[in-house]
Each structure stands twice: as structure tokens, then as C-alpha cells.
Amino acid sequence: MKLSSPIKISYKNLMAAKFRSFLTVLGIIIGVASVIIVMAIGESAQQLIIDQVQGIGVNLIGVLPGAASDKGPPASVFGIVTTTLKIDDMNAILEKRNVPNAVAASGYVSGSAVAKYESNSPTTSYQGVSASFPNIEKVELGAGRFFTSAEDSGLARVAVLGAARAEDLFGNQDPIGKVFTLKDTNFTVIGVFDKRGSSGFSNTDELVYIPLQTAQKLMLGIDYLNFMRIEIDSSDNVDRATADVKLTLRERHRIADPSDDDFSVRSTAQALSTITNVTNILKYFLTGIAAISLLVGGIGIMNIMLISVQQRIREVGLRKAVGARRRHIIVQFLIESIFITLIGGIIGIILGIMIAFLAAVIINSLGYDWKFMITASSILVATSVSIIIGVIFGLYPARKAARISPMEALRYE
């Protein structure tokens, strides 16, 4: 039996019941498109985060409060507040006798409040940072200056604005020297950053930056840090500096056993590894959820094929009567099932790519550096799974059709 013969028969049978065939194919289309979309968006989101971490620099060390395993995220990622990391810890790390390779550091705290200037009053996120923040983050000022260490320790009420926040508050006016209120506290604008774009899943251009201790004592009423970043003189010395930072913090926090650490220290390389692991888990988990729709589509195919077997009993009996063997009948129904899933898979891949591309365009329009990523593996997985589903869910109806007795089939009405 030529391969073209069952394919022609499959096409003829599908065209004979176009609406039923369409509904069957639709389940596979939705399932395959969902897998493509989830995998594409997952890859793009992962790359966005990795690019942002790499953009910060390869010679940075991050310190977060709360313990964590070497491969897992710190407790603070899950919203657990740990208050053990202090400014004095950061100052101790900057002492050459403790961490000789540390050249600069910045502490970070954050909050949210209404910023008011005349009739403009947007709710904004603000960050309290150290005077070395611009060097740590490698950012440039478009106008004015950044605050000094003296202004930080003196609880100065000065602010540096992201480009978008300056426009929201002051429109076309020159913001330098203007006074606005943040949580009912007056702040004088001394600088505006150049446009930086989105970082991770937040737009840094919409932030307000104020001195670290001003944020702690006047705005938040806390004495601890959310995290700190430390710049190391060379990427070659990051591992040594990481060990020195851990030793310094253990001495200050009186920790004898490393398993009792109340902090987490990560280099950029370690952060990338952790982020990649976490995002991979999320990506594959979401892909698995999307693949459930393929399972539903497969069940739909099996139901349709069982109905087709029932409607074509006389056809099967006649083919057996003229010499068709059991394997010919099985192959015929399997090819029909695979044909349905393959058509649905191809359409689903095209639809998934189109939607993923549209999502990339929309996200980029929101200011994120979002890359449109469709991997060959996602297309291969979607195509392979659709064919496998066609085989698995078409096998039972095919075997049932092959067991039909020619004599009983020819008597069937």
C-alpha cells in the first residue's frame, strides 16, 4: 500500500466533515500556540533579566539580608523581612583591612509615596541610596549633580529624579532647584538622570532617588538595609572579595558557624546562575501548564476518531473483504489522526509566533528592552508533541477499527 493512498483518503474524510474536523484541529492549534507563546515569552523574560544583571557589571557583589543556599534565592526574595544588614556593615566592608579589593559600595532601601508639585501628584516609588550610587550603577546625569556623602549623613532633603518622573512632575520646566513634596516632606531637586529605560520589570526612569539615611530615618523609620552592592577593583578578585565580605559580616554579626549566616552574598556570576535556574523552573512549569491544553486536544481527537470509526464500519468491512489487512486499517486511522494534529500543529506554530511577536512589540513600546525570541527547540517540541499526541490518541480508535469483522460490518446499517 502506497503512503499517498491513506493520506488521500484521510484528506477526503476530513473534507467530508469540515466543521467537525475544524473543531478537532482547533484544540491542537490552541495547545501548540500556547506552548510556543509561553516558551517564547519565557525565553525573552529570562534574557531581559540576565541582560539587566550583566549590564550592572561583572565586578559587583550583592549582599542581601537573610540566609540562602548557594543555588537558591535569599529569603528577602520571598518577602521575608530581615533587619540584620546595617549601614555600619557596609562601612566595615569598605575598610581596606577587611575587604582590600572593595572600592565602593551603596546601600539600598525603597518605598512608595505620592509626589506633589503644583497640580501634579503621581504616586511614585523612591529609593534611598548612597552617594556612590552613580558609580556603582554606571548611570549618567543629564542635568545637575548627585548628592554627596555629607548630604547623606546630614539627612539632606535633596532628590535626583529619573527622566520620566521629572517630566511627570515638572513638564517642560527646568526641575533643578524646584521643591516638591514626597510623603509630606519637602525635597529640592538637584539632578536628573539621563533616560535609562526599564530594568528588570520596573522602569528606573520613574524613580526618585534620595539620600540613604534620609530615606531610612525621615521616610521609612528603619535602621536596616534592603540590600547593598559592592564594587570590586577587578573581576579577577571577585571570589576573594566575596570570601572577605562573608568573613567580615560573620565577625560583625558574631556568627561562628556559616550555616547560621543571616545574610547572602552573591557575585554577578552567581546571581546569573541563580536567576537562570529560577527562571528555567518557572519557564518549564508554565510550559507544562500550557501543554495541558494539548492533552485536551488529544482527547478531542480520540473522541472524533471513535465517532469516525462508528460511522465508517461498512467502509472498513468492505476494505477487509477486498483484501485489506488489520495493519492497513490501523495505519489508515493513525495517519488520519496524525494528519489532523500535524495540520493543527503547523497552524498553531504560526499563530504562536505571531502572538509572541505582537507581545514583543507591545512590551517594547512600554519601554522594556524586550527581545523577540523563538527557539528551534520550542518549534521542535511543539511539532513532536502534536505528532505524538496524534499517535497516542489515534491508536485506540485505529485498533478498534481494525478489530471490526468483515461479515458484521457488511450487515451493519
pLDDT in tens, 11-42: 666 666 666 667 777 877 888 888 888 888 88
> How far is Cα 188 from Cα 196, in angstroms, rounded to an integer?
22
Q: Give kind and range of the element (H or E) at residue 60.
A: strand 60-65
Helix (H, G, I), strand (E, B) or coil at 322: coil
Residue type, 227: F
Q: Which residue has the higher pLDDT, 10 or 389?
A: 389
Helix axes 326-365, 313-321, angle to 10 degrees: 130
Q: Are 236 and 278 found together in one domain?
A: no
> How far is Cα 90 from Cα 108, in angstroms, rounded to an integer?
11
Residue 130 is assigned to a structural domain of this protein: yes
What are the backbone dihedrals phi and psi of residue 149, each rounded to the nearest 5 degrees, phi first?
-60, -35
Average pLDDT score over residue span 62-80? 68
**Domain count of the chain?**
2
Residue 20 is assigned to a structural domain of this protein: yes
Q: Cα 404 to the chain's mean position, in Å?
A: 52
- Domain, as residue range, for 371: 4-52+274-411
Q: Are 352 and 252 found together in one domain?
A: no
- Region for 60 from its dihedrals, namely left if φ exceeds 0, alpha if ψ lies in -120 to 50, beta otherwise: beta
What are the backbone dihedrals phi and psi of residue 143, each rounded to the nearest 5 degrees, phi first?
-160, 150
Nearest residue to 179 (alpha-carbon basis) of 159, 163, 165, 199: 159
- Does 323 score more than 90 pLDDT? no
- Look-up of cell digits 515638572: 170
Residue 68 is assigned to a structural domain of this protein: no
- Paired strand residues for 182: 115, 185
> How far is Cα 304 from Cα 174, in angstroms, rounded to an integer?
69
At 220-254, the pLDDT tens digits run 999 999 999 999 988 788 889 999 999 999 999 99
Residue 380 is assigned to a structural domain of this protein: yes
0.75 exceeded by pTM: no
Q: Are 118 and 172 found together in one domain?
A: yes
Q: Are 35 and 10 found together in one domain?
A: yes
Q: Are 30 and 149 found together in one domain?
A: no
The pLDDT assigned to 217 comes to 93
Q: Are 354 and 395 found together in one domain?
A: yes
Q: What percent of the chain clears pLDDT 70, i.e. is strictly above it? A: 77
- Does 374 score more than 70 pLDDT? yes
Residue 369 is assigned to a structural domain of this protein: yes
Q: Which residue has the higher pLDDT, 5 or 167?
A: 167
At 299, the pLDDT band (50, 70, 90 cuts) reads confident
In order of 201, 305, 322, 324, 398, the CA distances from 391 in angstroms are 42, 12, 26, 21, 10
Residue 144 is assigned to a structural domain of this protein: yes
Average pLDDT score over residue span 65-91? 74
> How far is Cα 382 from Cα 293, in angstroms, rounded to an integer?
12
Q: Are 105 and 220 found together in one domain?
A: yes
Q: Are 118 and 210 found together in one domain?
A: yes
Nearest residue to 63 (alpha-carbon basis) of 254, 246, 207: 246
Residue 69 is assigned to a structural domain of this protein: no
Residue 330 is assigned to a structural domain of this protein: yes
Give the residue from 261, 283, 318 where a domain finishes: 261
Helix axes 18-56, 376-402, angle to 10 degrees: 150
Lowest mean pLDDT among 133-137, 171-175, 293-297: 293-297
The pLDDT assigned to 187 comes to 96
| 125, 206 contact by CB (below 8 A) | yes
Give the residue from 214, 232, 261 where a domain finishes: 261
Q: Are 317 and 379 found together in one domain?
A: yes
At 163-176, the pLDDT tens digits run 999 998 998 899 99
Q: Are 252 and 131 found together in one domain?
A: yes
Q: Are 159 and 19 found together in one domain?
A: no
In order of 5, 17, 262, 322, 325, the CA distances from 317 in angstroms are 18, 21, 76, 9, 11
CA 35, 41, 45, 48 torsion: positive or negative?
A: positive
Q: Are 96 and 229 found together in one domain?
A: yes
- Does 159 score more than 90 pLDDT? yes
| 224, 84 contact by CB (below 8 A) | yes
- Paired strand residues for 64: 264
